[in-house]
Structure 1
């Protein structure tokens, strides 16, 4: 086998590599606009290393996001900034949003990467806020006496307020909701 053939990957090899079926494999090729080549002697289709590298990145993207969507629009690649550029920016004090944006102002791919990075940061922040909300909710459930007065009034049902038994409420209210959904 010649050295050029060592960097050739057949569809069967790649489907095994990604653990996907034929339809998924060809959908990915179509999405990436990759055309396989054919060996003139064996007439066997193959891809070369650069296309396989792109397929690898797409496969990672799909595993991360659950979809091919967004991969091509964002380029599917991360920008690589040399360490000297990073240290130069740090020593020059370039750390404000405006300065960073100005540094990549003319480079559209860098702008897309920044937008993707910003979106990722927003998604992480949203997840953290949801988790914080869930923690606070759990605290209020465990300590309903700490609720605001108007909310306490919604929890207490009698003139001589007694807290609703939470276990009873969870069982009976959930059953009532299920019953109501059945009737709808």
Structure 2
């Protein structure tokens, strides 16, 4: 498995080696030894799976208490996945990184605690699967505005138009007013 740091080095792009032929493919999406050697978590407390249609934008989500690290991947379709550094003491505070994850490139993204996370669906349908390092803590669940100009995420919305948002995401605070990490 190839593990590459992105422009914010705590966020990692993982590309497993896929072995395929006319019958299909096989890949290893998790290996505790490889993850430990790369400094990534090897223990996960929760697995989640969501399905969304083209143009759905989920995020930017995070937890203030027991923040989650997430290992995210797409098993059907394609998304543009984003992590935003919301650690005020970090030299990359307010910056973002993103990558396309799909059922064709098999790429995965590790989003560490202290980051807001979101994605927009590029394909007609996408199945999005992710492992979390801590349990979901509903009282500390927060959202950050997806289109905050201070952050300036370059969402690939050509051909999509206005994304479909949950009410909590549409009304989420901008970074300047959001509760973040010290």
TM-score, normalising length: structure 2: 0.26
Larger radius of gyration: 1
Higher strand share: 2
Higher helix share: 1
Work out which structure has the larger RCO, using CA pairs closer than 8 Å and 6 or more positions apart in sequence: 2
